[in-house]
Amino acid sequence: MFKTRRNPTLLIIAVILLSVTGFLLTHKVFADIQQGIDTQLKKLISVARLAQVYYVEDVNWNEAVEGAINGMLEKMDPHSVYIPAERVEENKENFSGEYEGIGIQFDVLDGYLTVIAPIPGSPSEQLGLSAGDRIVKINGESVVGISREEVPRKLKGPKGTTVNVTILREGMEQPLEFAITRDVIPISTITAGFMVDDSTGYLAVNRFAAITVKEVEEELRKLEAQKMKRLVLDLRWNSGGYLHEAVKLAGKFIDGHRLIVYTRDRSQKVDEEYFADQFGRGGVRNYPLIVLINRGSASASEIVAGAIQDYDRGLIVGENSFGKGLVQKEFPLQDGSAVRITTAKYYTPSGRCIQRDYKGKDVDEYYEEIPDSSWTSEDSLKNRPLFYTQKGRPVYGGGGIQPDVYVPAGQLSKSPELINKLSQKRLFFDYANHFAAKHPEWKSSLVNFRDNVQITSQQLEEFKKLCREKKVDFADREFDQDAEYLKLRLKAEIARRFWDANGYYYITLGSDPQYQKALRLFGEARRIASLQ
């Protein structure tokens, strides 16, 4: 390569000229932008003044301004959003992973505040509150007929304060009185975690909050203590959350100082890079890994799946993921509300931006567009940018994470509208709670329950009678054609009553085609990761 001598004086002058020119151009660009914003704001204010003077009714300016903000953000992209003040605190709780209260999952059934499940380790569990308990009084005041929205205001409160509740429990003639001292309640991001057999673990993560990786580490250690040798990591319906938690989770399976994800801002320059060991980790696992994804897997869950796929560390199984590759930053507003504005796009280690196209689509159209098998067809893939994994396997950008093995979810129910009606009224819960109370002998072992307990035709008829009593409108044919699925749901709900969410998923996964396929693919997962 030839070298040329440069005049240093000329070089310095050129740098100064370029700097001055760049400053002037940048100043002009920002001036033009500011002028454009000012013009549009003046237009908006003019419309508001006209509405104030001439509109036929009084204007609700809170609703009008929030509507204007929502409309502006929707025109930018589907993920820039306005958050009303009343939802900001709720969102903080969801992503901080904790709140202060008594610790129950609840619903209002037939006017009664009903305990769906006490949260493990909470004051409610420690005092013995149980699924199916009906809270009829709080601090001596009747709450029969209470709305769902009112419940948190009565039960949440500062740690150390006390709330008195009166409970009706099936099989008990007299109400039970509890004085519950509020505490910090974790909002778990783990849906379920258990050993499938003597070597296979299952772990489902429902979102990425501040406590997710801490919870995952605890669950992995429990499973490893039970001799787990391979893992199914279920990220289906995981809509995302904190990016750094996704990076930390991926780092539990990807060794070295490897790039997990990077972002580019509006200038297309690399804005941030995140590495597998950046936040510290409790050791890297090297057993075979399969990650389940579907159209509900988005954002942070796609970061994990994308990194696992790009480094050939595990096998991705299921359906095409959602395709959200936009990064939002939340900005507080003066009245306690907030906006989340897209500030960058994120990219997987191979260079994929997995954000799917949203230009020219309204928000409803964007969310209703369902990734399906057509997204993996040759016609679809030829229009998407091609990349390669570390070992040379082709992967595609521009439309979510394409699974290594496509498996449709299938539809177990033949009468989904009926199932929706029964679920909304929580009739599966009602029947399971009543039945479990009458048959405590079924709580011997989960494996024995799975293998030897079956819902009989007589029990199904009892359930049908309950549905009629609760005024659910359906035809016998509609109910009878879904008999097998109804039996599965009832059995799973009874298992939930005995063994919490682990029991429910242990039963339902037996009829899950994506999960069942995953169990047969560990040989391939081991091969692509070059594991011994």
Please name each of the domains of the chain with its CATH number. 98-186 (2.30.42.10), 190-410 (3.90.226.10), 416-511 (no CATH)
pLDDT for position 377: 64
What mean pLDDT, rounded, does the chain reach? 87
Q: Is the pLDDT of residue 375 over 90?
A: no
pLDDT for position 50: 87
Give how far Cα 332 sits from Cα of 82, 88, 89, 98, 484, Å: 10, 9, 12, 21, 50
Question: Are 190 and 198 in contact, with CB atoms under 8 Å apart?
Answer: no
Q: Is the pLDDT of residue 163 over 70?
A: yes
Phi, psi of 98 (to 5 degrees): -160, 160
Summarised one tens digit per residue, pLDDT across range 210-228 is 999 999 999 999 999 999 9
pLDDT for position 511: 94
299 in active site: yes
> What mean pLDDT do residues 350-368 have?
83
Greatest mean pLDDT among 14-18, 39-43, 192-196, 361-365: 192-196
Q: Is the pLDDT of residue 161 over 80?
A: yes
94's tokens: 């969801």
Residue with tokens 């509208």: 417
Q: Could you tell me the pLDDT band of residue 92, with boundaries at 50, 70 and 90?
A: confident
What string of DSSP letters covers 156-214?
A: ---TT-EEEEEEE-TT-SS-EEEEEE-EEEE---EEEEEESSSSEEEEEE--B-TTHHH
Summarised one tens digit per residue, pLDDT across range 40-81 is 888 888 888 888 888 889 989 888 888 888 888 888 888 889
Q: Which of 183, 234, 310, 482 is catalytic?
A: 310
154/104 Cα distance (integer angstroms): 13
283/255 Cα distance (integer angstroms): 9
> What mean pLDDT do residues 498-525 have?
95
| Chain centroid, CA 128 distance in Å | 30
Phi, psi of 35 (to 5 degrees): -65, -40
480 in active site: no
Q: Is the pLDDT of residue 244 over 70?
A: yes
Nearest to residue 518, comparing CAs of 192, 228, 230, 190?
Answer: 230
Summarised one tens digit per residue, pLDDT across range 297-352 is 999 999 999 999 999 999 999 999 999 988 888 999 999 999 999 999 999 999 99
Q: Which of 188, 299, 321, 415 is catalytic?
A: 299
pLDDT for position 78: 87
pLDDT for position 8: 47
132/438 Cα distance (integer angstroms): 13
Q: Which of 248, 252, 324, 491 is catalytic?
A: 324
Model's pTM, two decimal places? 0.84
Q: Is the pLDDT of residue 22 over 50?
A: no
> What mean pLDDT do residues 391-420 have?
90
Surface-to-core class of residue 155, CB atoms within 10 Å of its CB (0-12 exposed, 13-18 middle, 19+ buried):
buried
- Return the ∠ at Cα 62 (arms to 60 and 64), rounded to 5°: 70
Residue with tokens 């409790």: 282
pLDDT for position 369: 75
Q: Could you tell me the pLDDT band of residue 146, with boundaries at 50, 70 and 90?
A: very high
249's tokens: 């989770």
Q: Which has the higher per-residue pLDDT, 375 or 230? A: 230
Q: Is the pLDDT of residue 202 over 50?
A: yes
pLDDT for position 532: 66
Q: Is the pLDDT of residue 383 over 90?
A: no
Q: Is the pLDDT of residue 26 over 50?
A: no
> What mean pLDDT do residues 345-360 have?
89
pLDDT for position 43: 85
Q: Is the pLDDT of residue 382 over 80?
A: no
> What mean pLDDT do residues 496-516 have?
94
Q: Could you tell me the pLDDT band of residue 371, with boundaries at 50, 70 and 90?
A: low
96 in active site: no
Q: Is the pLDDT of residue 127 over 90?
A: no
Summarised one tens digit per residue, pLDDT across range 422-450 is 988 889 999 998 888 888 888 888 999 99
Question: Are 118 and 103 in contact, with CB atoms under 8 Å apart?
Answer: yes
Question: Are 291 and 304 in contact, with CB atoms under 8 Å apart?
Answer: yes
Instruction: Give the DSSP letter of residue 83.
Output: E
Q: Identify residue 223 by its one-letter amino acid code.
A: L
Q: Is the pLDDT of residue 457 over 90?
A: yes
